[in-house]
Amino acid sequence: MDDVAPLPDVEIGEIIGMLEYLKEEGGKTDIYEIADDLNLEIDDLVPIIKAAELLGFANVENGDLILTKLGEELVNGDENKRKILFKESLKKLPVFKKVLDILLSSQEHSIDKHELLSMLKQEMPEDEANTTLRSLINFGRYAELIGYNPEDKEIYLDKIMEE
């Protein structure tokens, strides 16, 4: 199994909002200046930056946050374009790869949420497993890659098969 790194506990809107801000600043700005400008604690900013880096939308270099080509494409894109770029980036993350493998190989292309959580707990500490599951569902729903039915607590494959 690949090294399954936890997902940061952030929202899609925070990531995209930060990228939009970054674009307005000309695509590059000092991380401390962002915090200062928006009255944010660095501790709150770091997970959002990490998520953007993980997805390939921004890079950190010498204390600057820099918008990547992909990040720029995302900011300039419409909602559908954004979802597609998100989807492509998510599919490259080990933790998503793993979940998609599980879903593809299971009979109904679905898995019980608690079952997935205990699998994640074997890879990472418990609270990170919890936030990773939350972000998995959130990011997956946004990218229309996976769905989650809160009624029967099943995580299921959404639209990966169409390509």
Partner 1 sequence: MEELLRLKDVTQLFPLKKKNVVVLDKISFSVHEGEFVSLVGPSGCGKSTLLRIIAGLVKPSSGSILFRNKEIHGINLHVSIVFQTFGLLPWLDVTENITLGLEARGVSLKERLRKAFKYIDLVGLEGFEEAYPRELSGGMKQRVGIARALVMEPELLLMDEPFSALDAFTAQNLREEILRLWSSGKLSLKSIIMVTHNIEEAIYLSDRIIVLSTHPGRVIGDIHIPMARPRDRDSVEFTKLYDKIYSMVVMAKI
Chain residues binding partner 1 by CB under 8 A are 11-18, 20-21, 24, 38-40, 44, 48, 78-79, 82-83, 137-138, 140-144, 147-151, 158
Parallel, antiparallel or unpaired: strands 154-157 and 146-149? antiparallel
Judged by beta carbon, residue 118 or residue 149, the one nearer partner 1 is 149
> How far apart are alpha carbons 50 and 80 in whole angstroms?
23
Judged by beta carbon, residue 24 or residue 127, the one nearer partner 1 is 24
Query: Closest distance between partner 1 and the C-beta of residue 125, in Å?
Result: 23
Which DSSP symbol is given to 147? E
Judged by beta carbon, residue 2 or residue 64, the one nearer partner 1 is 64
Identity at 120, one-letter amino acid code: L
Query: Closest distance between partner 1 and the C-beta of residue 25, in Å?
Result: 9
> How far apart are alpha carbons 71 and 98 in whole angstroms?
24
Yes or no: say if 89 and 56 are a contact pair by the CB < 8 Å rule: yes
> How far apart are alpha carbons 29 and 26 in whole angstroms?
8
Residue 153 phi, psi (nearest 5):
60, 35
| Token pair recorded at residue 130 | 């919890």
Query: Closest distance between partner 1 and the C-beta of residue 3, in Å?
Result: 27
Judged by beta carbon, residue 40 or residue 124, the one nearer partner 1 is 40
Q: Is 126 helix (H, G, I), strand (E, B) or coil?
A: helix
Judged by beta carbon, residue 38 or residue 42, the one nearer partner 1 is 38
Query: Closest distance between partner 1 and the C-beta of residue 150, in Å?
Result: 6
Query: Closest distance between partner 1 and the C-beta of residue 39, in Å?
Result: 7
